[in-house]
Structure 1
Amino acid sequence: MFLGGLGRSGTTLLERLLGELPGVVPLGEVVHLWARGVLADEPCGCGEPFGRCPFWREVGERAFGGWPRELAERVLALRHRVDRTRRIPAVGHPDLAEYVAAYDRVYSAAMDVAGGTVVVDSSKHASLAFCLSAGGVAPRVVHVVRDPRAVAHSWRRTVARPEDGRPMTRWGAMRTSLHWSAQNLALDLLSRWNVQVTRVRYEDLLADPRTTLTALATELGLDTRLGFLDGATASLGPAHTASGNPMRFAVGQVRLFHDDAWRGGLPAVQRAVVSGLTAPLMTKYGYRGAAA
C-alpha cells in the first residue's frame, strides 16, 4: 500500500493508525531509507539507529545480503534519473526496472520478517507511485489530502527534526501551493493508469477516526478491528519506520485532534495566495474558498 500526498498532509498519522491493524506492516518513507537510513544511520521509528535495528537488519539480509553503502548510492543515483515528478507519466526510463526491483525486494523482505500481509510505504511522492506501477509492483494507492492553507501554515513553521535537532525544511506560500497542486494532480492522474486509488481527507480522519478508518480498511480489504482506538485517542505501539514525520516516534496514548491553527496563524496575504493558486483543486476536494 502506498500513501501519497504532499508532506504535512497527515500521511504519517494515517500510516501509524493503519499500522495498528492486524497484518499491516508500516515502513515509513522508503524513498528516504537509502540516504537517511543506510547512509546516515538515522533512528528507526523504534528508536534504534537504522544499522542496529533488528527488524531492518533482517530485512537487509533477506533482500540484499545486508545494506552495503554501494547499494544505497546506486539506488539514489537511479532515483535522480528515473523518479522525477517532471517525467510523469512518461516513466519508460531504461533504468526503471532496476530501480523498482530495489523497492520490491524491500517490501517483500519486510513482509516476510514481520509476518504481515500488507506493507505500507508512506513515501508520498506521486512520481514513485508511477514508477512502482509502471515497474510491475502495482501498489494500492491511498491519496491523502489536506486543506492547502493548513499545509502552507505547517510548511512555514520552524520544527526541529528529532533525529538530529536540525530544523525541518520550510517553504513559502507560493512554493507550497505549487507543490500541493502538482502532487495532488499527479495522484489523481494515477487512476487513469488503472491504478486503484482511494482518497482520504485529513480533516475527515480527525473528525471521525473510527468511521473513516473502518471505511478505508473495508475498501482496502484489511482487518477492521480497531481495538487500539478509543474515541479520539489511539494507542500506538513502536513502529519500524525508516523515515517520516516526527510523530513516527510516538508511542502510547495519542490524542487525535483537528489542527486548524492556520486560521489564526497563516497571514491573510499568504492565505489569499494559497487560496488563489489552489482554487480548482480546493473545490474538487470539498474545501471552501478564501473566506472560510
Structure 2
Amino acid sequence: MAAATLAGFLGAAYLFADSRGPAAAPPAARSPISYHSDGLSDAYDGFRAEPLALPTGRGPGLVSLRVTGTAGPVTDFQHVHTRPIHMYVLRDDLSGYQHLHPEVVDGAWTAPVTITDGGAYRVYLEFVPHGRPAGADPTVLGVPFVIAGDTTMIPVPAPQARARSGPYTVRRLDGTADLTSGTQTALRFQVLRDGRPAALEPYLGAYAHLSNFEVRTQGLKHLHPLPANATGDPPADAVLAFHAAFAERGDKRMFLQFRAGGAVHQVAFTIFTT
C-alpha cells in the first residue's frame, strides 16, 4: 500500500519535496504527527476495523464493523461534519458509491446498505480520534467483501465538464482540464437548476461533500469545501470550492454530494492529474 495516495487539503497542507538552490532557506519542520491512511488497510495508527456483518448477496443488507484501539472497542470519536464516523461503500470498478451514517449497535458501527450487483467491494470507515491535533487528517480504515455471481462491470467514465442529478446540473468550472500533482490545486463546481445558480441547503454541517478515490488503488480522501463567505450563508452563485494537493499523477474518481430542494443529490467526475 502506498504511504499516501493524497497529501493534504487546505487547513491541513502537507509539504512536498522541493527543488531549491544552495542559498535557499531550510525547509519548514514537518508536524511530528501526520496521518496518511486511505482505507486500503483494516488497521492503522493503533486502530483496527473488525467486520461483524458484511453483505453476502444483492439487495438490502447490513454492514457492522467494530473499531478497536489499544484499550478495546471505540464507540466515540470527534464529530466531523456533525457525525462521529462516516462510512463509504464502493465497488472496485469505482461504481456503486454510497455514503452511509452508521450508529453504534452492540458496540459496533452499523448501517443498512443495499447492494445492486455482484463484484468486489470495500467498506471504508473515516473518523478523527479524540485528542488528535486540529487540522490533522482523519484515520481511514477499510474492509473488503465480495458479492458472488454474474457481475456487470462499469468502465470508469472519461472526464466530463458536467454531471446531472435530477433537475440539477453540476459543472466543473475548469472543464476537463488536467490538474498538476504536487501543487495546491483549486477545484470549483457550480450547481445549476434551469440554467441559474441553485439554492443550496446545509448537509451535515456543510454545503457539499467531496470524496476522492484513486482509480488505480481505490484509496480514499474526503475533501471539504471552503466557506463561501464569512457569514456561513450558502453561496449566492452556488459555486463550491475545494482545495487539495494531489501527491500522485493518475485518474481520480470524485463523488460530490449536495442538498437542494429538500433532497441530497450526488454526481461524479473523473479528473486526471499529471
Q: What's the TM-score bracket when you normalise by the shorter of the two chains? A: under 0.3
Larger RCO, structures 1/2 (Cα 8 Å, 6+ apart): 1
- TM-score in terms of structure 2 length: 0.27
More strand by share: 2
- TM-score in terms of structure 1 length: 0.26
More helix by share: 1
